Structure 1
């Protein structure tokens, strides 16, 4: 009876483990689906023809995830005095800054343009050089990107921000400002003499989610294989005990020698050689 209860517990534990493996496999499938969706969105939007900003985002706080990476074109004047540096932005494993320069359009509204990335300077608080944007009226092509959430407890010196939280940026700029999305600079006309490093196309990498999903399924199956092996092994041991108790001879044990060779075969070879 105690053995039965014990194996019922083992079966229950195996079922729980297999269910957990199934949930983890499903989670990895979901992660892969998200990665595939992001890759398809890049392929669809990254090289699309630019559309007017006002047509793509007619409302200042409007945004749809399907608009990510869509190029938009606009004409205006950079507000250099309102330029901000975004702290702790990594690129190729190195820390640095992103440069946000608001662009005032002809109708007076403001769109935030991320002009690119700069590495850490000799003094950590600022880059060595922040390339100036073009002066006067400029036509800008930028790819749309959603704003970022706030980071509680994070602060930054004047002229810097810790995250691209567009309502916070809007509070620092005079005039109506788009808060649903900002733009990653693609081109400027006229072009500046130099500019921060531009955004790079996201790689089409699904990650290891598919292989992990199959691994979790395999772990769940192996749990039942181990359970059945344990049940079969214990049943054979119990039958052997009952046979011996009934007066039978114990079954000979197989001994394993070095290298995994059967010791009985080794003994037979020694006998044939006259030891």
Structure 2
């Protein structure tokens, strides 16, 4: 009964873990569909995609939007602790003021940490004056309590914090954009590449957890059977079962190991 209780707990845990892996796979399927549907779309005016400052829906992720206006160069900041390709670095975040006065945060790419490890050696400057920008929508990140950053840097891309920082009530707080193109050539960081369409190993992991539960249940059944036979060795049914097993072993085709053992036994040993 103790082993059975352990099996029940183990099987329930395997069930939860398997279900979790199925859910993770479903999330990847939805994400892949969203990338396929949005990434290569024709850019739409930002007013059409985001009619209000707080507008944004998860289905819009990676949608290209077009903005006309100018960068607020003096308000540019760096998002710290941003790994890329296995290296630490920063994301360049530059507010962009549209022709109607609204402010949209544009991520102009990734740059590596510099010699001081807490700041890059150089930060590409955005183009000055009127410019047309195409950026792909990404949702605002969650705020992480207690995480701070030096002057000119931020810990997370939390857009409401940006609105407070800029002291403006016309900042888009639902989404920001990953730079895709600028009408005025200028140096940028490493732009975010197209996401890879993959479901990962979640499906195989889900089935593995189910198999683990089946193996555990099978082991318990075999253990109960063996213990029953051991405790009831004089039972006629047990003796008959053991006799049939012995006959099956005799009738089965000998393995290579059996043949090798037989040959070794036939060789006379020196005393």
Question: What residue number does 2:114 align with?
Answer: 121
TM-score by length of 2: 0.86
Once residues 95 and 264 of structure 1 are traced to their aligned partners in structure 2, the CA distance between those partners, rounded to angstroms, is 60
Residues 21 and 216, structure 1, Cα contact 8 Å, conserved in 2:
yes
SS at match of 2:97: strand
Question: What residue number does 1:63 align with?
Answer: 56
Quote how far apart the aligned CAs of 1:225 are: 0.7
Q: Which deviations, in whole Å up to 9, do the C-alpha atoms of 1:103-159 show, x marking residues without a partner?
A: 111111111101110011122232111111111000000000001111111111111
Q: Does 1:178 align with 2:175?
A: no
Q: Which deviations, in whole Å up to 9, do the C-alpha atoms of 1:206-225 show, x marking residues without a partner?
A: 12111111110101111111
Residues 82 and 172, structure 1, Cα contact 8 Å, conserved in 2:
no
Once residues 122 and 21 of structure 1 are traced to their aligned partners in structure 2, the CA distance between those partners, rounded to angstroms, is 48
Match for 1:269 among 263, 266, 271? 266
Quote how far apart the aligned CAs of 1:9 are: 3.0
Quote how far apart the aligned CAs of 1:173 are: 1.8
Question: What residue number does 1:188 align with?
Answer: 182
Q: Does 1:112 align with 2:109?
A: no
Question: What residue number does 2:143 align with?
Answer: 150
Q: Report 1:127-138 matches (<5 A).
A: 127-138=120-131
SS at match of 2:233: helix
Quote how far apart the aligned CAs of 1:270 are: 5.2
Count of residues paired in the alignment: 253
Quote how far apart the aligned CAs of 1:36 are: 1.3
TM-score by length of 1: 0.85
Cα gap change, 1:263 to 1:138, in 2 (>3 Å): closer
Once residues 28 and 56 of structure 1 are traced to their aligned partners in structure 2, the CA distance between those partners, rounded to angstroms, is 33
Once residues 93 and 261 of structure 2 are traced to their aligned partners in structure 1, the CA distance between those partners, rounded to angstroms, is 79
Q: Does 1:76 align with 2:69?
A: yes
Cα gap change, 1:108 to 1:174, in 2 (>3 Å): farther
Once residues 266 and 8 of structure 2 are traced to their aligned partners in structure 1, the CA distance between those partners, rounded to angstroms, is 48
Structure 1 unaligned blocks of 5 or more: 1-7, 244-251
Question: What residue number does 2:242 align with?
Answer: none
- State the superposition RMSD in angstroms: 2.5
